[in-house]
Amino acid sequence: MKMEAGLDLDARIAKEVMGCMLTHDAYRPQCGCPTDPTSDKRPHQVWAPHAGGFIIPPYSTDIAAAWTVKERLGRLMELQEHTPFGWLCRFMAVQPGQIDVEARADTAPLAICCAALLAVEAREKEKL
């Protein structure tokens, strides 16, 4: 599965992995999740006054944002640099019914995002 880093992939991660209810303005997808009155921090959004609201983090290009994807999945992860071939990310099965998934990409954040989507897709197939 070849994916490119950027806003489209970040929006998929926000929706399919992080559980964000996306809304769209004229320029970009935004987080449309209700505000939690007990907290001003949501793991899948960043306040961006220049954008006029909450935007989704750059999961596919920023390692700190990508790491929140790993934490959301709650699975063991292996991340290896395979110079000059890029990065390998593997999410390992930790419960019966889960399968190992892996993805390779040019950067670590992109590899994490690609593997996370594969893990979610595998989980959905198990439900069928």
Picking from 17-31, 44-58, 72-86, which range would have the lowest pLDDT averaged per residue? Answer: 44-58
Inside any domain, residue 57: yes
Inside any domain, residue 102: yes
**Res 37: pLDDT:** 47
Q: How many domains does the chain have?
A: 1
Contact 22, 32 (CB under 8 A): yes
Does 128 score more than 80 pLDDT? Answer: no
CA 49 and chain centroid, separation:
23
pLDDT-derived band at 117, boundaries 50, 70, 90: very high
Q: Kindly state the tokens that stand for 62.
A: 């920023």
Inside any domain, residue 49: yes
Q: Give the residue-averaged pLDDT of 35-56.
A: 57
Q: Kindly state the tokens that stand for 39.
A: 């907290």
> Looking at per-residue confidence, does 98 or 68 come out higher?
68
Residue 90: give its domain's CATH number: 3.30.2120.10
Does 78 score more than 60 pLDDT? Answer: yes
Inside any domain, residue 56: yes
**Res 113: pLDDT:** 95
Q: What is the tens place of the pLDDT at every residue in 16-25?
A: 888 887 776 6
Percentage of residues in the chain having pLDDT higher than 90: 30
Q: What is the tens place of the pLDDT at every residue in 87-113?
A: 999 988 877 777 889 999 999 999 999
Domain containing residue 12 = 7-123
Inside any domain, residue 128: no
